[in-house]
Amino acid sequence: MKYKVPNHVAIIMDGNGRWAQKRNLKRTKGHQKGAEALKKISEYVYDKKVKVLSVFAFSTENWKRDKEEVDYLMDLFIKSFKDNFDAVKKKGVKVIFSGVKEKLSNKVIKAMEDMTEETKDNKNGIFNICLNYGGQDEILNATKKISKDVSNGVINTDDINPELFNKYLFNDLPPIDLLIRTSGEYRISNFMLWQMAYAEFYFPKVHFPDFNEEEFDKALLYIFICQY
């Protein structure tokens, strides 16, 4: 079967809490299983020739959750960045982050910086982790930077076009071809609004901890069907 593999896949990793609830487990157990699922998926997508994978790890809204859950997630990020992505790094994938550092602890920032530093020269793919991220924030932030550059004479208003605007975002990434949101919710939830202008959307029912290689293949099959 021949089809065009999506260049940039983005995943809203939803349903960790419901996965745990169904099994009478704490929500944090769901996040732990979600981290395991992400480890496997992040290894698999690049084998399928996807070039960019973006994931929604933590939104600017997520600070409203119970302190216990937020603390657990932050520790899980640190641990995962240290232990879970060796295979991705070995494949020559560059790890980057989108979002703001504000409110993040020094330990989390250090773990993020270690990952980016270690993989900065990698050329075989990009793993974009959206952490403390909001799509509207990203657009506003870019707009402020552009307007400063206009005021300082670095660029002219007439030069502003989508390509230029893209360069002012947290990262200058290609457009999203396929957006997957697990757990059966049909919402975008302020994720990569600019980048998903032309994306195909796929909403599998499975909760993220159960999103595996087989489920990813189904998403690719869906894209294949959409192309005809």
Q: Can you tell me the distance from the alpha carbon of 139 to that of 117, in angstroms, rounded to the nearest whole number?
A: 26
> Minimum distance between the CB of residue 73 and ligand FPP, rounded to whole angstroms?
6
Nearest residue to ligand FPP, scored by beta-carbon proximity: 17
Query: How many CB atoms neighbour CB 160 within 10 A?
Result: 16
Instruction: By CB under 6 A, tell whether 16 contacts ligand FPP.
Output: yes
- Interface with ligand FPP (CB under 6 A), residue from 10, 11, 13, 52: 13
> Minimum distance between the CB of residue 134 and ligand FPP, rounded to whole angstroms?
13
Interface with ligand FPP in residues 80-139 (CB under 6 A): 80, 129
Instruction: By CB under 6 A, tell whether 188 contacts ligand FPP.
Output: no
Instruction: By CB under 6 A, tell whether 77 contacts ligand FPP.
Output: yes
Interface with ligand FPP in residues 146-165 (CB under 6 A): none
- Interface with ligand FPP (CB under 6 A), residue from 6, 34, 134, 135: 34
* Structure token digits, residue 179: 């957006």
The site map against ligand FPP for 197-226 (x = CB under 6 A) is: -----------x------------------
Catalytic residues: 14, 62
Chain residues binding ligand FPP by CB under 6 A are: 13-18, 31, 34-35, 38, 55, 57, 62, 76-77, 80, 129, 208
